[in-house]
Amino acid sequence: MVFNTDLERDFILKREIAHLSDEFKGTFAPETVERYVRESLESLEGARVKDFIPLFVNRFSRERLRALGQVQGKIAKDQPEVLFVCTHNAGRSQMAAALLHHLSGGRVSVRSAGSEPADQINPAAISAMSEIGLDLSQEFPKPLTDEVIQAADVVITMGCGDACAIYPGKRYEDWELDDPAGQPLQKVRLVRDAIAVRVEVLLAELGIPRIKAEHE
């Protein structure tokens, strides 16, 4: 959906604010929800796939509000929280998030973000992940926000320098991986496989048995 008029944009905003205010009733005031929804829309309006903007806004706002609730102790954590950060949130961090979510069987809460988010997911990353049965086509690059860093137990960066704020009590790692941006599919496969190896090590360190991947 492309916002042809301010009226249409306001309609989408009010609808998402109403939905999320109801979902987070008793946790956050409607004013807080509205601020996060408006901020999320502004940060995602550059996305190339315009038809999905309302869905992206809802998902991104919900993710940020859940993180904020965890930081403030209003929402309990029932599993480890891992945040993957790369520059564009279009390749490495998205592949890592999908692999960790899948191989953990959903027993790890996974988020990803970019220090300079792109306007779409790298098509080669989508293809490489599709080959192993994981779908990135409905994902979208998201900007790095403070509450998702604070909510994470483990923060893993991939070539984004000092973009992440450092908070005490968190585990930080930097994974040195080639940037798949602009690379042919065969090279993106190598990046994917290198990420998979590191994800398996991370799962072992978190004490969570991996499940068997679909392509194995």
Q: In terms of C-beta density within 10 A (0-12 exposed, 13-18 middle, 19 or more buried), how is residue 42 classed?
A: exposed
| Residues with catalytic function | 86, 160, 164
C-beta atoms surrounding 61 within 10 Å: 26
